[in-house]
Each structure stands twice: as structure tokens, then as C-alpha cells.
Chains A and B, each alone.
Chain A
């Protein structure tokens, strides 16, 4: 048993020790220390296994069978642009292109940003603005609590840095595209992002995760988000990784007084994809809305873990996740809401609804409310169901064929989550992407 664990741990150590390319900010003591702590933590942190609640339904053995390597240097921007199509849907936005974990300046477009706004490469910011970074780095993420976050931290290299000074309001969304390109040695791509909205600042952030066809890679991204007093962040994430990809996103969010975070994640792709959200209320009056939609088919596992912590009074949170499972798709949902003793007047509602289109789909869903305060409004609900034959008959009796009827009902089921996206082009894209997936599932069933 222990030999297995040691072998698994060695996988993490090798991934770090064999990384190629120079890490930036060698002269920054805080950064070097952070990396070193994380590297040491790899030796002691528990390796995720199915005996722990957090990983009960999500095995990492398949991931560890592969050997991934951090690529050296930047990808060739010309090659990326030539490949094209990556920037659909097109809409007015500040764009940052990240390829295999590295920002590609030539494929990014951030001209015209208002004063007080920084949107760009973390690597660049380490050179130009190290003090600001040093202030915020690691405030939200505990670098040494989770093995995968430690893996990312030990090799901090690049990612996005989004910083808005007090009162700055962005006129257009910031869109970050993470493109992972397969190569001879399957890449380990580990973007490290830092998003800080100072008092009263406001932005929309779109993130899209993509990879071509059947490319094999492991995306292990870590994002720290800090919203200060009254800041508003709308955050839309579309996970559309290649069908062989492993994807782990760990998001660490902290919210100050009266701030608002609205996050919607759409998970369509990947062979093994997990999103971990940790949201912590640090001051009163803040609100956090987490939404998600996942479609999971053959040879896919999609996992969402939420950990929302009401540490202070008078905050509210909403978690609404919906899943559509078909073929032999496997979904995992674990939504934990913690309301501490002092967090009176907390208002939290969590729901997870699942639609099984086939008999072989599987969803393991677990809402957890841990409430230690006595004056709160909290609830949760979980459903797993099939398409209602009465609804099907209603649509068909109106001339709509069975496939189209099924599509309409699935879109209707998912609609609430998609409608929360306030960028029209992205919303439209999400609907079309869902329709394409549903068509695939219908074909597969035939």
C-alpha cells in the first residue's frame, strides 16, 4: 500500500524536478520561498485516494499512469494563430491567449484598457509590479494544503494577472483562452492566475479552456480571486478540453464587504475534469453565486467540488448546478456549505439537478450543509431524474420529432444556468455547444 503511495508521490516530485525552462522572478525572495515551501509540501501532503471524502468518486490512477512534462518556453504564436478558430465566438473583449501555460503576447489584445487596469501576463507582472503581486499572492490560496495546488505553486511561471484599482469599471469583458497543444511529450500546463478587484471595481472575466481533438495533456490551473469592498466580478468559464485531456481547476475566492461574485462554469469536454471552488466570506454583506452545467458522456468523468465558507454574518450564497449524463458518463458533485457559529443571518441555498439520458450514466451527488449558527436561512436540494415521458408526448403531439423534443427539454433543463451568462455571444455559443453535445448523445444512443 505504502509503496503505491510513495510511487504516486514520486510522480508529483518528478513532474516538478523534470520541468523544463527557467522560472521567472528568481530574484524575488517571497516567490522563491513560496515555490520552495510548495516543493517541500509535496513530500508530506496526503496523496488523494478514494478513502478520502474529497476524492471518493474521482480516481487519480488514470492520470498518474501518464507522464506529463512542463514544456520549455513559449509556443510559437504564428502556429497558434494559423490554427485559428480558437477565438470563436468573437465579441468585443480584451483578450489574453495562453498556450500550454504561457501567455502569448502576439496573440493577445489588451489595448485601450482604462487607467488603473492591469490585464496581462503574470510573468510580465513579476518583472514590472513584483510588490503588488507579493502583496496578494497566496492570500486566497493555501499553497500547501492540496497536493495539486502545491504542484502548481512549486512551478509558478505564467498565467494572467488582472488587477483593477478602486472604482475601475471595465467596459468590455476580459477573455482568457487557455489552449493546450499536444506534443511528443504530453504537456503539463499549469497557469497560475491572480485576480484582484479593489474597492468598487467591476469586471467580467471569461475563461475558455480548449485543446484540439484527442490531444493528451494535463491542465492543472490555480486561480486566486480577491474581491474587495463592493467589487463586482462576473466570471464565466467554459471547459471545452480535448477528449483525452485531464483538467483540474482550483479556484480560491475571498470576498470583502458587500462584494458580489457571480461565477458560471460550463463543463463540456475532457476525459477527466474536475473543478474545485473554495469561497470564503471575509466581511459582511457579500454575495456569492456559483452556477454550473456539465454534460458527461462515454469515457468522461466530470467532477465539481464546492466549499463555501460563511465565516462572518450577513452574507448570502447560491449554488445551482445541473448535469446531463449520457452514455456511460460519470458525474460527481460535492457541494459543501459551512456556516460558522458567528455567521448569523447567513442565507445559503444549494441545488444540484441531474438528468440521466441513458441507463448507464452515473452521478454521485452530495450536498453538505454544516451549520453552527442558529439564525440562518439555508437549504439544499438534489434531484436525479430522466426525461419526463409526458413532456415528450406533449411536444411530439405538436409535430416536433422525438430527437428535437429531447433537445428542447434538455436545453430547457440547462437554460437557467446558461441564461445567467450576460455576454450574449457567449450565451449563444454555450447553447449551440450544448445542442451539439446533445446531438452527439442522440447519435450515440442510436
Chain B
């Protein structure tokens, strides 16, 4: 489904990703772990199409299509979803209106009919239950004044609505207390399916207790230096990143 080959990315002439390779098949859950500054968020932003990054080499194919030449909205319509580490607030933009515009834009992109107001309401109420998001937050401005946990629930709600083929969840666990983590992980697990792949970007092994990955990759200095199963995450938890960084440097 997703094939990243020799990806090199710079920000203002500073190399961040330095030859990253990653293959993800349908239905797989991949965790990408790594120390601060290793390029985890850059990877998620580049996949979603955020501006400000220069691709200096390599390619990214999504179902065989060149992803890097597409606008962010085109990628979303192809089925890519980025759950953000810091979801921005959109004062004055109603959450419900926003989700309906978003869903219908993606549905049009997939060649599906738009949902009318009634069908949309039914769907959004049902999905909101999945992440235990208070109905009242649907009527407010997007993320405006939401707590950290509410923002993340709102992200996973959007994922549930948009039914992406590939969801990239960028530090979805950061800033969550244990209850919120459980709810959000429950939401993500409910969305696992044989057609849907997930990239979990995280700092901590803790998230992987709740969402069990098929593969774990360690990103150091812009490259994946080690891949394994979830045992690798446990090892990292115990020993930290130091040993792996040393190995990578050697």
C-alpha cells in the first residue's frame, strides 16, 4: 500500500530524513519510534503534504501512485489521514460543519455521493460514541478551547468519519492521561481492519500496550536503523535509545 524508498528531506537546507525506507502492506500497524529530532514528525508531515519541506531524493508510492506530487487535499481524498500531534484551533469554524465539508470532499474524491444532513448527523453521533466525545463539542468551534484529550478524541473521530486507507497518528498519546489513552486506543483498535494500515508515531512504549503493532521501527538521525516486532519496543523501553544510536553511528 505504502512504499517509501530512499527518502531524503530537508528543511531550509538542513537534512532531516537521510534515506528512509519503509514498506507497509494493507492491514498492518507499524510503530515508528525514535528520540527527539530523529525525523518522526517530519515523516508524518511529508506524507500528508505539509509545505516547508524539500524532498531532495527518493520517492513515496501510495497504491502505486506518486504521493509527493499531490496536494494535501488530494492525498486525503486518496485515503491518507494524519492525526496531528498538535491539532490547531479553528475559531469560528463549527466542528460539525467542518467535518461534513471534510467528509463530503473526501466522498466526492472517492466518487461517492455526499451525505445529506440527516445521514451525516447519524453517522457523526455514532462515531462520537466510539471515542466518548461529548456531543456538545460537535457544536463548538473546531478544537477551540478543547482540552488536550478532547483534541485527540476529535482527531480520532475524524479518522473514524473519513475511513482512511492509511492513518498516520503523530504522537496521539502525548499529553493524555491513562483514561484518555485507553479510550483513544480503544477507538483506534475498533478502526483496525484488513484494508486499513496505520503508522503510529510515538515516543513511548506505553501506547503500544494498548495498540499492538505488527512491526516496530526505530528512527535515528533520519534513517530507520532497526526494525522488529513489539519486543523491540519493550527493549527500547528498558534500555533507552542510547545503545541503538551508538550502534547506528558505528
Contacts and interface: CB of A to CB of B under 8 A. Distances in A.
Interface of A: 388-391, 393-402, 404, 408-409, 411-416
Interface string B71-84: 11101110001101
Contact of A413 (B48, B71, B92): B92
Contacts of A391: 88, 90
Nearest to B143: A394
Contacts of A397: 48-50, 72-73, 75-76, 81-82, 84
Nearest to A407: B101
Contacts of B48: 393, 397
A401 B90 contact: no
Given A389-B51, A393-B50, A408-B101, A399 B106 contact: yes
Q: What size tier do the contact residues of chain B reach?
A: 20 to 34
Contacts of A411: 92-93
Nearest to A415: B92
Contacts of B72: 393, 396-397
Given A388-B88, A394-B87, A397-B76, A408 B93 contact: yes
Most buried by A among B49, B82, B92: B92
B201 interface: no
Contact of B92 (A395, A399, A404, A414): A414
B51 A398 contact: no
A390 B92 contact: no
A404 B105 contact: yes
B98 interface: yes
Interface in B124-161: 141, 158
Given A394-B84, A394-B88, A399 B93 contact: no
Contacts of A401: 71, 73, 105
Interface in B55-100: 71-73, 75-77, 81-82, 84, 87-88, 90-93, 97-98
Contacts of A415: 92-93
B102 interface: yes
A293 to B, nearest CB: 12
A399 B109 contact: yes
Given A399-B102, A400-B101, A416-B92, A393 B51 contact: yes
A395 B101 CA distance: 10
Nearest to A408: B93
Contacts of B97: 408
Contacts of B101: 400, 404, 408
Interface string B22-53: 00000000000000000000000000111100
Contact of B76 (A398, A402, A412): A398
A402 to B, nearest CB: 7
A428 to B, nearest CB: 14
B162 interface: yes
